[in-house]
Structure 1
Amino acid sequence: MNINATLWIQWIPFAILVLVTAKFIWPPIAKALDERAAKIADGLAAADKAKSELATANKRVDEQLAQTRTETTKLLGDAEKRAAALIEEAKRKAEEEGAKIIAAAKAEAEQQVVRAREALREQVAVLAVKGAEQILQKEVNAGVHADLLARLKTEL
């Protein structure tokens, strides 16, 4: 056999194999590769979309955090002002109550001083009468001399 004839005979099955592969085998493989490429492209697009949504969500979270911090700072300031006002009110009430207590104590002390003076006047009057009795060597009648004793009390 001739080598050229062998080559031509080998070309015929090869050509049939290429035609069968091109007609029946290659289209499903190409279709599967195209579908896979489309899935990868869709996945990459979804990843890009998710990344942009994540950035947007992070931006919203940062804005909400800033707003919350502002509100919290405002609330803390208001609470501190309210606490200071309550403290001032309590101090004012305590001072008023202290002034009332001091005034009541002064009034009570004044009453005790008046009572003590009255008691002292009574005792001095009794001592004066006893002294006068001893000087005069006779009894002085308190009922008869009530006017005199009253004047003596007021002088003391």
Structure 2
Amino acid sequence: MTTTVLAADNFLVPNGTIIAELVAFLIILFVLGRFVWPPLSRSLEQRQNMVQKQVEDAEGAARRFKQAEERYEEALAEARTEAAKIRDQARADGERIRDELREQANAEVERIRQRGEEQLSTQREQVVRQLRGELGALSVQLAEQLVGHELSDDENKRTTVDAFLQQLDQMPAAATDKTPAQSGGAG
């Protein structure tokens, strides 16, 4: 009969390979802990620091962007306010200039009207003088024809003309007012 050793086939029973595997595992663990883990840890730490710095830079850029956007909005609001002030000032200047031009035009119209009235008055006086002289001569001729003889004395002529002119001046004002109105309406 043969005896068989069952312990050699049982993997749960410790034997020499498990010790060798344990020693190899500890050596690999030591090598990894000593030579692989520190560079890997430094690399991960550098990468983590770089990511952290990029996040901080992004946050800083976002803050600067927000500040720039606020400054832009403030500048835009200020520009709008300034534009409104300029528009209001331009309107006020336009109204002031328009009023000044209107005043100048009114002053010019008044000056032209006064000059026209003065010229009209002067011309009216000249026409009245001229008509008085012609009327005097015509009245003398009419008087000569009516009386039938020529007034030889200049003093008699003068008194006759003055009396006729005085009668004309004493005529009612309505009759003299109709004559210029009628001549003004015809012209």
Q: Could you tell me the TM-score, scaled by structure 1's length? A: 0.76
Alpha-carbon spacing, 1:149–1:25, altered in 2? closer, same or farther (3 Å): farther
Q: In structure 1, the residue corresponding to 2:154 is in which secondary structure?
A: coil
C-alpha offsets along residues 89-147 of structure 1, whole Å, 9 cap, x if unaligned?
Answer: 22222111111111111111112222222222232223223223333445556x93564
Letter in 2 for 1:63: E
Equivalent residue in structure 1 for 2:91, among 80, 100, 120: 80
Name the counterpart of 1:101: 112
Asked whether the equivalents of residues 133 and 139 of structure 1 are also in contact (C-alpha less than 8 Å), the reply is yes
Root-mean-square deviation (CA), in Å? 2.9
Asked whether the equivalents of residues 121 and 153 of structure 1 are also in contact (C-alpha less than 8 Å), the reply is no
Letter in 2 for 1:46: D
Equivalent residue in structure 1 for 2:78, among 53, 57, 67: 67
User: C-alpha separation between the residues in 1 aligned to 2:124 and 2:160?
Assistant: 21
Q: Which has the larger radius of gyration?
A: 2
Name the counterpart of 1:54: 65
Asked whether the equivalents of residues 144 and 151 of structure 2 are also in contact (C-alpha less than 8 Å), the reply is yes
Alpha-carbon spacing, 1:101–1:7, altered in 2? closer, same or farther (3 Å): same
Letter in 1 for 2:154: V
- Unaligned runs of 5+ residues in structure 1 are none
| More contact order relative to length (CA 8 Å, sep ≥ 6) | 1
Name the counterpart of 1:110: 121
Letter in 2 for 1:69: R
C-alpha offsets along residues 37-76 of structure 1, whole Å, 9 cap, x if unaligned?
Answer: 0000011111112222222222233333333333333333
Alpha-carbon spacing, 1:92–1:36, altered in 2? closer, same or farther (3 Å): same
Letter in 1 for 2:105: A
Percent of residue pairs identical: 24
Q: Could you tell me the TM-score, scaled by structure 2's length? A: 0.66
Name the counterpart of 2:154: 144
Q: In structure 2, the residue corresponding to 1:134 is in which secondary structure?
A: helix
Asked whether the equivalents of residues 122 and 153 of structure 1 are also in contact (C-alpha less than 8 Å), the reply is no
User: C-alpha separation between the residues in 2 aligned to 1:39 and 1:97?
Assistant: 83
Number of residues of Structure 1 aligned to a counterpart in Structure 2: 154
Letter in 2 for 1:18: L
Single out whichever of 125-134 and 100-109 deviates more from structure 2. Answer: 125-134
